[in-house]
Amino acid sequence: MRTRRWLWRWRKNPLKRRSDHAEAWAGLAAAVIMAVGAPLTGALAADEATSALREQPGLHRASAVLREDAPTTDGVVTVSDEPTVLTEVQWTGPDGRPHTGRAPVESGTGQGTRVPIWLDGRGQPHEPPPDASEVALESGAAGGAVAVGTCFFVGSACWVVRRRLDARREKQWESEWAFVGPYWTRRE
């Protein structure tokens, strides 16, 4: 039976090459960077996503009146428990003039109903800002994706280093065999 020795590159061995030593250090460095760097970059990305999602500059809440019945989503599969649909609404702007446009409102709401809408800095209807659970979910997903991406990048870099070391060892083997081969095979 053959036993596998996990730390063979770290043991003293007269046949160990410099490339074996370099490969061992590259693997250790990759493991440390993945163990420390992936959670760190993931946490930083999650924090950035959280602050970007929470800061919705220029959004303010206003009241509007529906100019038509909001369509219902009966029989339609939706992601949310309270689906919204774009519907024609009318609101009074800061200048006192009435404005109309399409804004997201709860499906099935009747014409003439007052509904809250969100307006951007230009006074146009906008999607409402995400609530705390949406912010947590999206920032967590962003952090996780960045952490996985970090591991993939570091693992790919380690793989490239190992492939180059293998290619170098193969060339060294060929050159040494070219020198020793004729003596062993009795060719000259």
30 has pLDDT over 50? yes
The whole-angstrom separation of Cα 156 and Cα 109 is 53
Average pLDDT of the residues of the chain: 82
Supply the pLDDT for residue 170. Answer: 92
The two three-digit tokens of residue 66, written as one number? 């529906």
Per-residue model confidence (pLDDT) at position 82: 64
Q: Provide the pLDDT for residue 91.
A: 84
- CA 115 – CA 91 distance, rounded (Å): 10
Domain boundaries, the chain: 55-128
pLDDT tens, residue by residue, 67-110: 887 777 665 555 555 677 788 888 887 777 888 888 888 877 77
Q: What's the confidence (pLDDT) of residue 188? A: 53
CA dist 124 and 118 (Å) reads 8
